[in-house]
Amino acid sequence: MPVLRNGDDSPWIGEAQKRLKHYGAYTKRIDNDFGDGTANAVRAFQLSRHLAVTGEVDADTARALDLTHLVGPAKRPVPEAAALLFPGARFANVAAHLPYVVRGLVAHALTDKPMLLMALATIRAETSGFLPISEGRSKYNTTPSGHPFNRYDNRKKSLGNLGRPDGERFKGRGFVQLTGRANYTNISRRLGLGARLVDEPELANDPEIAGRILAAFLKREERRVRAALKKKDLAAARKVVNGGVHGQNPFRIAFLRGEEVFAGGLTLTRS
């Protein structure tokens, strides 16, 4: 368990709340949500134990709460740890979908901490609820009086689209928001699916396939991603995936939080 602080949302928060309640410092509902009430309870507990009063559950506070089994960064990609990168997301979504993401990364030999964080931060930027989703209509993909996703229809050079209805047919889907006929075609082949993603683009939202797509996309861009991460240029790493500035802030926040949450020597294995 890393330092837990206001804004975190995870079953680990619930464990801390239960211990705080046991010691009489917390009187509210156990909700796994680190809000102001939990922070005040932590401060009161720290004051009573002559600890540094920070309002955060650090290692010393965790030990005083008899949560020694949770001290230190997570050495495995457990849902309780990943959930700390997705405030507000339902924990059930994280628990259900994280294994698919990990399996995809392992299958593509992307088993180190930086690539795990790249995957999770990308999901945070594209679908904060940790769900594979379809892109919604917006001013960026649809003109005011046009049919859905008409701005994408004729983007042959950047997306490989060949005109209507390619814009809507190959709109963003999944964890990485795979977009465009060319990307659907390329990734489908990389996954050994032949032309299935082209023929059935909704498959990109199947959780297992979405996890594989994310990993395949990162593998395809691995050299550029690692080069950016080596320079600690998170903006450039994000741009490799998105091509622009969309989602830069949540991506950066999630990646940096992941640096704290997960142990440096973490290595992914197939569960």
CATH number given to 11-70:
1.10.101.10
Query: 141 pLDDT band (50/70/90 cuts)?
Result: very high
Q: Each residue of 55-77: pLDDT tens digit?
A: 999 999 999 999 998 898 999 99
> Residue 234: is its pLDDT beyond 70?
yes
Q: pLDDT exceeding 70 applies to what percent of the chain?
A: 98
The predicted-structure confidence for 84-107, as pLDDT tens digits, reads as follows: 999 989 999 999 999 999 999 999
Location of each CATH 3.30.20 domain in the chain: 134-205
d(CA 151, CA 163): 10
Question: Average pLDDT for residues 234-248, to the nearest whole number?
Answer: 85
Residue 271 predicted with pLDDT over 70: no
CATH 1.10.101.10 residue ranges in the chain? 11-70
- What pLDDT is attached to residue 242? 78
**CATH classification number, 134-205, choose in 3.30.1490, 1.25.10, 3.30.70, 3.30.20:** 3.30.20
Task: Say yes or no to pLDDT of 241 above 90.
Answer: no
**Residue 152 — very low, low, confident or very high, per pLDDT cuts 50/70/90?**
very high
Q: If you average pLDDT over every residue of the chain, what do you get? A: 94
Contact 2, 27 (CB under 8 A): no
Q: What is the DSSP track for 160-212?
A: ---STTHHHHT--EETTTB-SHHHHHHHHHHTT-TTHHHH-GGGGGSHHHHHH
